[in-house]
Structure 1
Amino acid sequence: MIQTLRKLWQIHGGLHLDYHKEASNNSHARNVPLAAEFIIPLQQHAGYKPTLTAKVGDYVYKGQELASHTGFMKVPVHASTSGTITAIEERPIAHPSGLKDLCLILTPDGKDDWGNARMSPYPDPQQIDPETLRKRICAAGIVGMGGAVFPSAIKLNVHDHIPVESLIINGAECEPYITCDDRLMQEQPEEIIGGIQIMMHIINAPQCLIGIEDNKPQAIAALQTALEKLGETRVQVIAVPTLYPTGSEKQLIQILTGKEVPSGGRPANIGIVCHNPATARAIYRAIRCGEPLIDRYVTVTGEGITQPANFNVPLGTPIAHLVQHAGGYAQPDPQLAMGGPMMGVKLPSDQIPIVKATNCILITRPADTTPTVMPCIRCGRCAQSCPASLLPQQLYWHARAREFEKAENYHLFDCIECGCCAYVCPSHIPLVDYYRFAKAEIRTQRDAKNKAERARERHDFHQERLERAKREKAEKLAKHKQQAQTGNADDSKQAAIQAALERAKAKKAQTATTASSDAPVTTSENAPE
């Protein structure tokens, strides 16, 4: 039964779009045969690269750690199957420029052998302390699988002074074409609920709200049935209106709770933690089964693919291999993107691997024409559609003029880059590109300022150290001089004392001699005269 008695709030703006979800969501997710080669990038999360532990020539088991998480904001990566590390080299990654980054190249042996790589399972997670569970989640390489790829263990490390009121599971999946979370919620509802229970135990949350757009009735029903089967009353499934971008974290929180995340703040600041259904399932498998994050559900869809579908894909699988098992391209020279049409990242080729952030491969026909960018006519449609209640037009002008401080004053970093403003712009201005440019420039300037500040601090410390050394040397010399002067004074004093002693001795001897010479001569009575 769908939860209907909870009050919902409205967000500002948003769009009703053509969603095109039916094509990929009419059958069960399929498993993909192993590719001939796996490309496993080290950087698959928001943070720092993990430290390599594997080397070329190593035989690795499925699930074996290839790079460790020792250090702050590091998340490990694991082998998606068993085989041999044949190279560690730079390969193209999911970036519009075709940027390359360091990757491990794994050639599978076809055995898919776990060996002893599985971690010890926890059959009853409720009896395990939260810190141990967080460490396991970190060791399993789990990140936010809704796209942000923030380390999940850090997100679950909440502050004691702000108690968590609600855990929110973001199952809205509002962007067109993408259906991997919908399919996962239909097929693995009990594992998702199991992961939710583990997270509630870790953060001590009294309730959980699962927000799902009302265009996903099968997923809503599947989760509700699983909750009734498990007898879990702390978790509610909430159907929310279908509106883009309801699936944005801050917007879904506002819809479900009426609370707004403060500018520059995080949901934890208002007592809320938000996660994705795929993340919940990955946590369940890491805790209950001892399995690291080495695969995920991925949607392959669009007018440019022959058989749109969802697949359970080992991480590191090249996109070309996935396309092959989706029937191949519908026509030559398609356009590829990782993600949906609103927020997706354009890809330069299909030789890029599936990573933890990959929820969808969108394949479309080449555009017949490119819209001509015209001057802004100040119509205000961008402001009307902005779900963050910003002024996109002002942000555009300041970003274009490189007036970054003014752009920040208009809350540039509250922009979620959903693309609503660019979608409705009659002048076809790529507004989000300007915002991304401004953000990147501000971050670059901040990094340069921080580096300059650190350099200044090092210079000041160096100067202070030199001054201290000079001062200590001067003090040491002064001390030696003083000691030398004190030593000379002591010698003079000792000489004076010695001279006085000698004079006293001489005077005593002289006195004795004088006394002896003045004494009378005594004669005997019997002596002759």
Structure 2
Amino acid sequence: MLSIIEQIKQGKLWDFHGGIHPAENKDLSNKSPIVNAGIPQELVLPLKQHIGSKGDIIVAVGDNVQKGQPLTQGDIAMCVPVHAPTSGTITAIEQRTTAHPSGLSDLCIVIAPDQQDTWCDKTTYADYEDRDPAELIDAIRLNGIAGLGGAGFPTARKLQGGLGNVDILIINAAECEPYITADDRLMRDYAEEVIEGVRILRHIISPKLTIIGIEDNKPEAIQALEQHVKEDDNILIRVVPTKYPSGSSKQLVKILTGREVPSQSRSTSVGVIMQNVGTAFAIKRAIIDGEPLIERVVTLTGEAFKERGNVFAMLGTPIAYLLDKFGYKADKKHPRVIIGGSLMGFTLPHSNVPITKMTNCILAPKRKELPLHTYEMACIRCSACADVCPSSLLPQQLQWYAKDQNYEKCEEYNLQDCIECGACAYVCPSEIPLVQYYRQAKAEIWARSQDEINAERARQRFEAKQARMDRDKAERENRFKKAAETRREEMAKTGGDDAVAAAIARVKAKQAAAQSEKPEVKPAVAAAIAAAKAKQAASAQGATSETLPDNSEMAKLREERKRQARERKAEKEAGESTASASSNDSKKDAVAAAIARAKAKKAQQASEQKVPVADSVVENAEVDPKKAAIAAAVARAKAKKEAQQAQSESNSGTSVETSEADPKKAAVAAAVARAKARKAAQQAQAQSEVTPEPAAETEAVDPKKAAVAAAVARAKAKKAAQQAQAQSETTSEPAAETEAIDPKKAAVAAAVARAKARKAAQQAEAQSKSTSEPAAETEEVDPKKAAVAAAVARAKARKAAQQAEAQSETTPEPVAETEAVDPKKAAVAAAVARAKARKAAQQAEKQSVTPEPTAETEAVDPKKAAVAAVVARAKARKAAQQAAKEQQNIEED
């Protein structure tokens, strides 16, 4: 029986299950030779353009790179580096959309070409026959070569896995999918370089037989290859029938060798290794010319292209650049751009997607050329998909399990053996996109397997960590145990005590030292402690005396604590009073001034009360009116002088004496002053009630009686003023006498009340003097007019007293009720009011005194005297009103 190799050499071919014969449409792009696509304005290079892991970026934004310079690096076999397709500058390293059915983005390196196309240093292996295969495999990996047939498996990893395990090398030149002609034109235009690449692979693998499998629909390519194959190359060019998908790895192995690759296995498991024609060409460029994989042949086909053909496109070239350069005209209703062929390709989300190592075709069909899929219909169970499946699967069952997300059943039915050729979807009468279901299920299964792998790896790491910790703990305990045993042996040899006993002794010594250092104790506390200890000692000795225990020490201790508490309280109050005194000196000065003015007013009232008594006595005797007026003026002058002296004394000395006074004492002093004022007012009222009022209606009035009546009017005016003052004081008195009262507010309220009472008294006194003195001092005055003037004076005095009383009743309340009054402002306002009141009183007194010289004349015109009295009264009233308004404005402010 002939061996497989002998059968192959004799030209025997085999067949695989299923397969279809779709319209090829290869004539659209295989008529013109390959051209160069040129350098675009921007190149976008995804880090992952193969099956495997990404490399580490070794460039940064802003770096200038040269053509062929590596941009990434990796130390593992499944990591393929990426190189710069041309010279330029790195402008960005960011996420960009990549050529993938998901349309997701990935990390990319963006280069702005400088259009110089400057090469970097090259490393060539022209003498590859003298090189070690491992060295050549590493050179292939460093040049970034991956499978260019569409799968993108790292070439170096495949070659390394086939060393010593394979006896047949197959070069895949079938290119079975419709529309794609990249390998066809590459074999026509670069057949010599392709054959040289096959020779390099033969040198690395050292197979028994090398086969180039090509379909019979490429006669020009078959002829070009035969021209460059030598007899000693041991290379067979085997032409196979055109059938889709004969270009698949497992199917081509079955056709050429008759060997069937097991499920979920590679062709190396049956002693066969397969490489693509484009991969052989790239290996030749990398080993002999020193050029890494930076460009590839791409087919531009479809009726939407004006210029169709094959081009050498740099990796990272945007597809939009190729569409614009080769006359793409999109379909009006359904524009589509497909990467790959019509059966295994996928539609792009947009045209700004770069060319990668796995991109072999860009298909831009029109709607009539490649009809759109209609709506998916229900499966009719025709079994057409199973009949054409090249992997002998059950597509219908797999679709149901994938749709139901029953991934265990999908694996049971060998979903991983599906090559996604699309033959099942091509023949399905229900237009079911079967391949899409399979791709989604594969992705989910892969994700779950990765999670399981990660979980298993995490479990192993955790168990390893726990074992390491247990091992360290055991080693530590053994080390401590050995150290303790060593110490005991040494102490036993030297005759010392045990280490534990020594530690206990050190602890006891430390405690004894701490007890000996007693903290400092205060005398009172020490006395209490001593008394308690004495009591405990007495009870311990068993003293059973029936006498009461001696508590003198405890009593002394309590007294000492009380004394200390009182001292602290006194210091606290002194501190508060000192702080308040420093900020409230003006308040205390106002209180002292108010006390002094109260004393002066009392003295003045005592001196003036003698006048009506004297006048009443003169009523029974003959008194000279001039002398009476002089006596009254002298008394007033003395009272004023005493008041000024008292005020000066209070301003100079009292303020100093009361600077350190307690606010409570100030309030008490104000209350005493108000009580004395009330008492003086009651005495004056009693005297005024004894004195009879002269009748104003008498037709013939004696001048002496008129003078007496004027004096009585003055007394009543003073009485009304005192009553108003007493009422104003009584209204504010409860607030001052309450237990919880603000002394500042009480002092301010008392000062305001006293100021208003004194003002009313001065107004009444000025009016009474202005009306009575001219009449008393004039010898020859009309009795009727004098009586009328006296009555008018009394009425106005009563009115002024009532006004003062009303003001005193209404005004002090807001001041007393105010919660927060600035004592300084209140004192200033009171001082201003007192100054204005004194000024008004002095003006009124001057006006009342001025007529005295005229009173000495023997003959005075009665009319002029009456007019002068009216003018004086009007001026006094006006001055009083102005003073009252100013006082009210000050209090409101």
- Same-fold status (TM-score > 0.5): yes
Counterpart Cα distance in 2 of 1:355 and 1:314: 9
- The residue aligned with 1:215 is 217
What is the Cα-based RMSD across aligned positions, in Å?
2.0
What amino acid does structure 2 have at the position aligned with 1:288? I
- The residue aligned with 2:396 is 393
More helix by share: 2
- The residue aligned with 1:78 is 83
Query: Post-superposition shift, 1:25?
Result: 1.0
What amino acid does structure 2 have at the position aligned with 1:296? R
Q: Secondary structure at the match of 1:156?
A: helix
Say whether residues 1:135 and 2:138 are aligned partners. yes
Query: Post-superposition shift, 1:376?
Result: 1.9
Q: Provide Cα deviations, 1:93-151, integer angstroms capped at 9, x if missing partner.
A: 0023321111111111111111x4322x2223212111111111111111100011111
Q: Secondary structure at the match of 1:328?
A: coil
Say which structure, 1 or 2, has more relative contact order (CA 8 Å, 6+ apart). 1
Taking a change above 3 Å as real, the CA distance of residues 123 and 343 of structure 1, as seen in their structure-2 partners, is same
Query: Post-superposition shift, 1:4?
Result: 10
Higher mean C-alpha displacement, 398-407 vs 474-483: 474-483
Counterpart Cα distance in 2 of 1:308 and 1:270: 40
Say whether residues 1:107 and 2:112 are aligned partners. yes
- The residue aligned with 1:264 is 264
TM-score of the pair, normalised by structure 2: 0.53
Query: Post-superposition shift, 1:488?
Result: 5.2
What amino acid does structure 1 have at the position aligned with 2:194? I
Higher mean C-alpha displacement, 410-419 vs 365-374: 365-374
Q: Give 1:90's match in structure 2, choosing from 92, 95, 102.
A: 95
Q: Secondary structure at the match of 2:54?
A: coil
What amino acid does structure 2 have at the position aligned with 1:104? I
Q: Give 1:402's match in structure 2, choosing from 405, 412, 431.
A: 405
- The residue aligned with 1:338 is 339
- The residue aligned with 1:251 is 251
- The residue aligned with 2:426 is 423
Counterpart Cα distance in 2 of 1:304 and 1:346: 15
Taking a change above 3 Å as real, the CA distance of residues 197 and 353 of structure 1, as seen in their structure-2 partners, is same
Say whether residues 1:195 and 2:197 are aligned partners. yes
- The residue aligned with 1:117 is 121
- The residue aligned with 1:183 is 185
Query: Post-superposition shift, 1:469?
Result: 3.4
Q: Give 1:171's match in structure 2, choosing from 170, 173, 177.
A: 173
- The residue aligned with 2:206 is 204
- The residue aligned with 1:525 is none
Counterpart Cα distance in 1 of 2:75 and 2:160: 17
- The residue aligned with 2:519 is none
- The residue aligned with 2:43 is 38
Q: Secondary structure at the match of 1:305?
A: coil
Higher mean C-alpha displacement, 312-321 vs 245-254: 312-321
Q: Does structure 1 conserve the Cα–Cα contact (< 8 Å) formed by 2:77 and 2:141?
A: no
What amino acid does structure 2 have at the position aligned with 1:179? T
Counterpart Cα distance in 2 of 1:124 and 1:370: 54
Q: Provide Cα deviations, 1:423-456, integer angstroms capped at 9, x if missing partner.
A: 1112222211222122112111111111111222
Q: Give 2:437's match in structure 1, choosing from 431, 434, 437.
A: 434
- The residue aligned with 2:286 is 286
Say whether residues 1:414 and 2:417 are aligned partners. yes
Q: Secondary structure at the match of 1:86?
A: strand
Q: Does structure 2 conserve the Cα–Cα contact (< 8 Å) formed by 1:158 and 1:203?
A: no
Q: Does structure 1 conserve the Cα–Cα contact (< 8 Å) formed by 2:77 and 2:156?
A: no
Q: Does structure 2 conserve the Cα–Cα contact (< 8 Å) formed by 1:302 and 1:308?
A: yes
Query: Post-superposition shift, 1:303?
Result: 2.6
- The residue aligned with 1:324 is 324
Q: Does structure 2 conserve the Cα–Cα contact (< 8 Å) formed by 1:200 and 1:206?
A: no
Query: Post-superposition shift, 1:313?
Result: 1.0
Counterpart Cα distance in 2 of 1:232 and 1:327: 46
Q: Provide Cα deviations, 1:445-494, integer angstroms capped at 9, x if missing partner.
A: 11111111122222222322333333334333433443454445445699
Counterpart Cα distance in 2 of 1:98 and 1:233: 45
Counterpart Cα distance in 2 of 1:129 and 1:4: 29
What amino acid does structure 2 have at the position aligned with 1:117? D
Q: Does structure 2 conserve the Cα–Cα contact (< 8 Å) formed by 1:316 and 1:355?
A: yes
- How high is the sequence identity, in percent, across the aligned residues? 48
Counterpart Cα distance in 2 of 1:446 and 1:297: 35
Q: Does structure 2 conserve the Cα–Cα contact (< 8 Å) formed by 1:97 and 1:348?
A: no
Say whether residues 1:63 and 2:68 are aligned partners. yes
What amino acid does structure 2 have at the position aligned with 1:52? I
Counterpart Cα distance in 1 of 2:323 and 2:168: 40
Counterpart Cα distance in 1 of 2:63 and 2:476: 56
Q: Does structure 1 conserve the Cα–Cα contact (< 8 Å) formed by 2:146 and 2:154?
A: yes
Gaps of 5+ in 1: 495-529
What amino acid does structure 2 have at the position aligned with 1:442? I
TM-score of the pair, normalised by structure 1: 0.88
Q: Secondary structure at the match of 2:112?
A: strand
More strand by share: 1
Q: Secondary structure at the match of 1:335?
A: coil
What amino acid does structure 2 have at the position aligned with 1:187? D
Q: Does structure 1 conserve the Cα–Cα contact (< 8 Å) formed by 2:373 and 2:431?
A: no
Counterpart Cα distance in 1 of 2:372 and 2:18: 29
- The residue aligned with 1:517 is none
Q: Give 1:48's match in structure 2, choosing from 53, 67, 84.
A: 53
What amino acid does structure 2 have at the position aligned with 1:321? Y
Say whether residues 1:26 and 2:27 are aligned partners. no
**Aligned residue runs from structure 1 range 500-511, under 5 A:** none
Counterpart Cα distance in 1 of 2:251 and 2:374: 30
Counterpart Cα distance in 2 of 1:92 and 1:401: 30
- The residue aligned with 1:277 is 277
- The residue aligned with 2:380 is 377
Counterpart Cα distance in 2 of 1:255 and 1:492: 93
Query: Post-superposition shift, 1:293?
Result: 0.8
Q: Does structure 2 conserve the Cα–Cα contact (< 8 Å) formed by 1:51 and 1:70?
A: no
- The residue aligned with 1:502 is none
What amino acid does structure 2 have at the position aligned with 1:170? N
Counterpart Cα distance in 2 of 1:15 and 1:413: 21
Displaced runs of 4 or more, over 6 A = none
What amino acid does structure 2 have at the position aligned with 1:78? H
